[in-house]
């Protein structure tokens, strides 16, 4: 992932501290997404399919880098390897994302919802940063007043959307192991999540309403950020959900391959060697010396096969019985 988007995650995580539940909700909101609350958002914005670019033009890079940290821009200008690494990161991410699209990953309803949530958050956070740059250090959406949050929830439909979002977010966090199954949100947790939920949507709606007043380059930068963040998400999902399964090999496949290539199967050879060593131990040779010479276990080899300070039950029953 490029520096452009590492900065996004840093800005959205360093300043959002709280309980384990809130951290899990933020992870879901920012990176994974639930999408339930996008029913309203989807109705307000122009409908379109998620577009993943196959490549970035020189103009795209200029737009993305506009306004970046001068020290970082100087490093890119002075260091060809840094430029090459940045380009390769983009290229690899887009390649994986487009392969995910070809193989139908974007047809999955959960993925569709996640992509919409990414669009919502990246748009909102980009606008918030641009609008408030130069105002000093402040957490994301920190300039949105609580009165605006209250007004957002004066609409009962928004409250219902948040309740549904919270329920789905907690369920998903537990399912993915981000939260213990017996964990429940405290009132403080809920209020923090409720505030964040509203502020993201307030900022995104303001971006939309003031779009005609914004610098075209900035709007293009937001669009590119959205697409690249979505591409990064798709690349990760493709790697985890598709490639991992393709690379999984069953025991039967291993056995079949070893039968076809017996020169690679060293199990019989190792068993014969083990039986030979067992016979030597029974004949009176020093077990510790044999272990130091022949053992492949880095944890006990230098100690002559001895395991120290190990509690009963630490190893599998078959091993402990023999030991």
Q: What is the pLDDT of residues 58-71, one digit of tens each?
A: 888 888 888 778 88
pLDDT band at 299 (very low <50, low <70, confident <90, very high): low
- C-alpha dist (Å) from residue 34 to 16, 25, 134, 200: 19, 10, 32, 14
Q: Is the pLDDT of residue 314 over 60?
A: no
Mean pLDDT of the chain: 75
**Tens-digit pLDDT profile for residues 134-177:** 887 778 888 999 999 999 999 999 999 999 888 888 888 888 88
The answer to whether 152 and 202 have CB atoms below 8 angstroms apart is yes
Model pLDDT, residue 215: 92
Mark residue 168 as left, alpha or beta (left: phi above 0; alpha: psi -120 to 50; beta: remaining).
alpha
DSSP assignment of 221-241: HHHHHHHHHHHHHHHHHIIII
The answer to whether 43 and 208 have CB atoms below 8 angstroms apart is no
Of 3 and 306, more confident? 306
Structure tokens at 147: 């009165």
In degrees and rounded to multiples of 5, residue 74 shows phi and psi of -65, -40
Model pLDDT, residue 139: 82
Of 225 and 280, more confident? 225
Please report, for the chain, the start and end positions of each structural domain, with discontinuous segments joined by +.
3-247, 259-322
Quote the CA–CA distance of 67 and 106 in Å, as a whole number. Answer: 32
Model pLDDT, residue 318: 47
Model pLDDT, residue 218: 92
Residues 6+ away with beta carbon under 8 Å from 100 = 106, 234, 235, 237, 238, 242
Q: Is the pLDDT of residue 205 over 90?
A: yes
Model pLDDT, residue 306: 57
pLDDT band at 35 (very low <50, low <70, confident <90, very high): very low
| pTM of the predicted model as reported, rounded to 2 decimal places | 0.60
Structure tokens at 69: 């940290």
Structure tokens at 304: 């002559």
Q: Summarize the confidence of residues 98-104 as an average pLDDT.
A: 89
Q: What does R_g of the chain's alpha carbons equal in angstroms?
A: 28
């Amino acid at each position: 992932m490029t520096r452009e988007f590492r900065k996004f995650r840093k800005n959205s995580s360093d300043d959002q501290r709280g309980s384990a539940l809130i951290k899990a909700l933020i992870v879901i909101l920012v990176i994974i997404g639930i999408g339930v609350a996008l029913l309203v958002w989807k109705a307000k914005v122009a409908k379109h399919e998620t577009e993943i670019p196959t490549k970035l033009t020189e103009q795209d890079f200029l737009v993305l880098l506009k306004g970046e940290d001068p020290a970082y821009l100087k490093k890119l200008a002075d260091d060809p390897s840094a430029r090459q690494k940045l380009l390769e990161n983009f290229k690899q991410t887009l390649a994986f994302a487009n392969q995910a699209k070809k193989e139908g990953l974007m047809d999955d309803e959960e993925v569709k919802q996640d992509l919409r949530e990414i669009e919502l958050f990246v748009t909102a956070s980009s606008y918030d940063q641009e609008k408030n740059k130069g105002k000093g250090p402040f957490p994301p959406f920190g300039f949105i007043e609580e009165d605006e949050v209250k007004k957002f929830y004066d609409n009962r439909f928004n409250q219902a959307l948040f309740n549904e979002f919270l329920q789905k977010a907690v369920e998903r966090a537990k399912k993915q192991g981000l939260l213990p199954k017996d964990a429940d949100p405290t009132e403080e947790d809920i209020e923090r999540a409720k505030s964040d939920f509203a502020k993201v949507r307030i900022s995104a709606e303001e971006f939309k309403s003031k779009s005609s007043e914004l610098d075209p380059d900035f709007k293009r930068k937001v669009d590119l950020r959205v697409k690249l963040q979505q591409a990064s998400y798709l690349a990760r999902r493709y790697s985890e959900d598709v490639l991992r399964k393709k690379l999984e090999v069953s025991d039967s496949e291993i056995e079949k391959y070893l039968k076809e290539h017996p020169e690679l199967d060293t199990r019989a050879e190792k068993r014969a060697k083990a039986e030979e060593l067992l016979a030597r131990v029974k004949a009176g040779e020093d077990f510790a010396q044999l272990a130091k010479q022949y053992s492949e276990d880095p944890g006990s080899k230098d100690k002559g096969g001895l395991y120290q300070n190990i509690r009963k039950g630490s190893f599998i029953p078959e091993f402990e019985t023999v030991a």
